[in-house]
Structure 1
């Protein structure tokens, strides 16, 4: 073959690869770069509030605290003070750390609390009742983060959320629609309360005012942790529990504590991955996935090609099988972290992968170790002018959590107890299977898929990333990271790109509309893969450090906003 022919072929391949990526985007690349800091989160007003804190001289943790409370006002679908979450923090100088402010099971919780006399799971009891709520951790988490890393005064950080609650903010079309769609459930589950209920329904541009929530936030501003876990707000929470036969008490509230944990870390080629340890399953799963595909030429395969989709699906199948058995709260269960992240173990799991045909999930079981003894969330990424980086994923579990408000306090309760294994082998609302490691015990934290992550390149900050999405969180973060590292996308392209998801059981590859070409679908189907279409997968919010500054990626699947200065 002549030199001219070889050059022509390379040009054609390059054009086709670029065209393939372009087809996958919902919106064009933004390519805006900011030198002094950036906030990417789920609602415009919350992003603006966080950016103002950075401009006032606050650091990334300060801005994160402001965003957390602002999202509790502006993004009630998942933003919260009645839920919990995880923070990964990478200081510009010093060692990374993580904060676990995940909810806890109350003292009265029992392993069989959601089972009837016949031992069967009672439908919806772990979802839409007062018994569905774990003890909230978000307020304590923000207090602990401020004590250790905060720079500005606490009251300064909480005040923007109070202003948004009392003065109101303009509703987006999506927020109005989400609330209107849930109105009947709010009415059913909240007799005598009128939170987020409007007779004629909400519309885009309406001003939403939440006075009771503002009063609760003011108590948190004035008294810190005690403003929520003790005093009048705690009285309202306990009264709500008693009214609905809920389980947690003043002792549960007062006894809640966030936990600082060592990150789990790993390598992918020349990148260092810093992510969340258990009780999040996300970090270990992400590192397993990256190792599983590392030796394959993904860049050569191409974005969402049949080979790329097949490889990623098979890796996900094995990792989610491991998740079902080995992941849980490390304070109650010895999670075999080193064994799960052992390179020989991960490589061995992929040896049964066959390019010619799908591996049935029925033939894949959790791996074995020598000596072993037995959608709705939200994410925000923030970087400040000094290079401190925060990745936080926080949740109520389902959209609007349990959909039950605390009377007089104006905030929603979570339904995180569903993330425990109500019964071994019975799937939760996301179809995830669990066992003994994630059984219900008093004071225990339920397993999560949240995967807040920070990536370094050559020892320097490179990417801050995370997403909501229940069981799809892990795969969404995984694919977004690969979009940058393997498929040469900028941050916005990587976030916007269409995604797919597989989680071992059910044995089904879920695909966003337009994610795969008909040719790719046909090739995968012939190999035995069961494909099904679905709506949006994840809502990734991420930041990329480039040579010129910080580049944001705000997911077009939501009201997500990236702003910097």
Structure 2
């Protein structure tokens, strides 16, 4: 148990900052275009500014979101980049809604027990080095999104990020911390060390200049040749050669075989709104809907604050127990979509007491409960325009700097998304999450994710786009923002500033932000919760339509962290 807590806290330390303060929004993170017809919110000022500049050059929200994503691969490469994957939910101006799956894929040579050594899963193999990486999907997904609804060309949205990579930028304190924390592993790979460490193999310091000329060249090659450069051209060949020489499984053929998947969104109702979430291999859409469905079985407006937090925690426990048992890539395993049904939520709600915690929670059986239905650290980008384009992109390389591998000559950090599979039933991944055979490793399979890009509609019209970063806390962040914004009618910036909790069933702890009043913490303890206090958790982004105007909102915790260093 203690080991799992250390894993979860260690990986999510990226998101641990100071207590939540005001909900004001500095413009560099969340901006509205000059004509007030578009808005963008990201975790980084460079990404937001380049996105807004893209709007000024004639682009729409789709162009802006893609430009932001490529820029984040430059300035926020410890969280995301083209060496990773993404989930995209988009509502087009013509009303069409797409769920674009750009999740990483296991190589063809991957096997069920590839990380098992002497009968036990070896976490180092799935987190660092050649075996840890899956086939990246972000470039293909962004290309697909651009072709579906962008106004500019792929080249036009990529080149500003390429210019920034070549020119360089001042390393933020947050990025410097991540480089320092991962320096020992980065030093194992010469191409990684050449970018992030100095000549003495010491981590680059805050406010020093970080130039990434190889990454700029890779971006320019993609801009010129399209995604084919990445999947069937020089990048795929360089990666295949490096993998062959360093004990990896990925081949250039794996890149050529990668395909974007077009998924059917998870659609649910809450507080008079319609929610669109991302389906498996994301667990986000399923469990955001499930938790909100459970909460809706109670009269939320009559509950005291401690009772509300208790109810949220119990609902999260039941959802994460189901996640561990049922969820995986739906192309490989049967995932009961009835998990997101209100009848199943009602059955779970009947097991919850408002007076004390529920003991011995296990996965439910939605197939039995609702048979009739069975017949039929990551970053988030929010972008929208008044033409009707609404975009939610959650993108990741998994833990900080992914596998720590940069393919020589490319500047691209490869993900370590293979760690999101269940290397062995009951073995925890870097976030302390366990899984079953539903999420077992298999050739060309996509690992389970907590990413939760979400679109919200009222009377058929989009009113909000949101998502978050932070491992499994992504689900709990999105749930709480939606609860406060939709059920309690809070402005999103106020909803985000509320003290957060997180309960993921295993470990059986209630993670609580220190900003929560002590008397509420004590009341939760009296109900049987074992608390683990975090300074703060999460990194959410959202855009809300309010009084006909787009209001972008960036995570106040991240803004506070960067403004106090």
Structure 2 match to 1:187 = 187
Partners of 1:532 and 1:430 in 2: CA distance:
15
Q: How do 1:241-390 residues align onto structure 2 when only pairs under 5 Å count?
A: 241-301=243-303, 305-337=305-337, 339-360=338-359, 362-370=360-368, 376-390=377-391
Corresponding position of 1:441: 442
1:27 aligns with 2:26: no
User: What is the CA distance between 1:60 and its match in structure 2?
Assistant: 1.6
| Structure 1 residues 348-394: Cα deviation after superposition (integer angstroms, max 9, x where no partner) | 0121111221112x343333523699xx1010100123131000001
Deviations 1:471-514 (A, max 9, x none): 11101100011121233432222223221100111110011222
The equivalent of 1:12 in structure 2 is none
Aligned to 2:96: 95
The count of aligned residue pairs is 531
Instruction: Give the alignment of 1:532-551 within 5 angstroms.
Output: 532-551=532-551
Gaps spanning 5+ residues in structure 2: where?
1-17
CA separation of 1:430 and 1:144: change in aligned 2, threshold 3 A: same
| Cα distance in 2 for residues equivalent to 1:107 and 1:494 | 44
Offset at residue 191 of structure 1 (A): 7.3
Counterpart residue number, 1:467? 468
Asked if structure 1 preserves the Cα contact closer than 8 Å seen for 2:427 and 2:435, the reply is yes
* Structure-1 separation of matches of 2:559 and 2:129: 29
Displacement after TM superposition at 1:62 (Å) = 1.2
Q: What is the CA–CA distance in structure 1 between the aligned matches of 2:67 and 2:415, rounded to whole Å?
A: 20
Larger radius of gyration: 1
Report the CA distance shift for 1:92/1:24 in structure 2 as closer, same or farther (over 3 A).
farther
Give distance in 2, aligned partners of 1:122 and 1:176.
28
Change (3 A) 1:519 1:380: same
Q: Residues 191, 550 of structure 1: CA spacing in aligned structure 2 closer, same or farther, 3 A cutoff? A: closer
Q: Which secondary structure state, in structure 2, belongs to the residue aligned with residue 380 of structure 1?
A: strand
Contact 2:99 2:265 (8 Å CA) reproduced: yes
Corresponding position of 1:13: none
What TM-score, normalized to structure 1?
0.90
Partners of 1:541 and 1:191 lie apart in 2 by 32
Distance 1:449 1:518, change over 3 A: same
Do 1:554 and 1:560's aligned partners in 2 also have CA atoms closer than 8 Å? no
Match of 1:553 in 2: 553
Cα deviation, residue 92, structure 1: 3.1
CA gap of 1:261–1:560, structure 2 versus 1, over 3 A, is farther
- Secondary structure, counterpart of 2:330 in structure 1: coil
Is the CA contact (8 Å cut-off) linking 1:349 and 1:367 kept in structure 2? no
More off after superposition, 57-66 vs 411-420: 57-66
Tell me whether 1:145 sits opposite 2:145 in the alignment.
yes
Is the 8 Å Cα contact of residues 191 and 407 (structure 2) preserved in structure 1? no
Question: Once the 2 structures are TM-superposed, how far is the Cα of residue 238 of structure 1 from its aligned partner?
Answer: 1.4
Secondary structure of residue in 2 paired with 1:466: strand
Deviation at 1:172, TM superposition (A): 2.2
Measure how far apart 1:461 and its partner are: 1.6
Moved more, 100-109 or 184-193: 184-193
| CA contact 1:53–1:157 (8 Å) conserved in 2 | yes
Q: Normalising by structure 2, what TM-score?
A: 0.90
Shift of 1:188: 2.8
Cα deviation, residue 30, structure 1: 4.1
Structure 1 counterpart SS, 2:315: helix
Q: SS state of the match for residue 542, structure 2?
A: strand
* CA apart distance, 1:31: 10
Q: How far apart in 1 are the matches of 2:190 and 2:543?
A: 39
- 1:283-336, CA deviations, whole angstroms, 9 ceiling, x for partnerless residues? 01011111101132333436xx21111000111111111111211111111211
Distance 1:75 1:389 in 2: 23
Structure 2 equivalent of residue 172 of structure 1: 172
Could you report, residue by residue, the CA deviation over 1:393-423 in whole angstroms, capped at 9, with x for unpaired residues?
A: 0101101111111111111110000111111
SS in 2 for 1:195: helix
Inter-partner Cα distance in structure 2 for 1:290 and 1:472: 15
CA-atom RMSD in angstroms: 2.1
Q: Distance in 2 between matches of 1:402 and 1:560?
A: 29
Deviation at 1:84? 0.3
Asked whether the 8 Å contact 2:382–2:392 carries over to 1, the reply is yes
Match of 1:6 in 2: none
Q: Deviations over 1:156-212 (max 9, x none)?
A: 111011101111123322222322332232113447841211256544433321001
Paired with 1:243 and 1:536, the residues of 2 have a C-alpha distance of 42
Q: Distance in 2 between matches of 1:97 and 1:560?
A: 34
Which stretches in structure 1 are left out of the alignment for 5+ residues?
1-22
Question: Deviation at 1:127?
Answer: 0.6
Please say if 1:414 is aligned against 2:415.
yes
Which residue pairs with 2:110 in the alignment?
109
Distance 1:133 1:455, change over 3 A: same
Change (3 A) 1:69 1:560: farther
Q: CA contact under 8 A between 1:289 and 1:315: conserved in structure 2?
A: yes
Query: For the residues of structure 2 that align with 1:419 and 1:192, how far apart are their CA atoms?
Result: 22
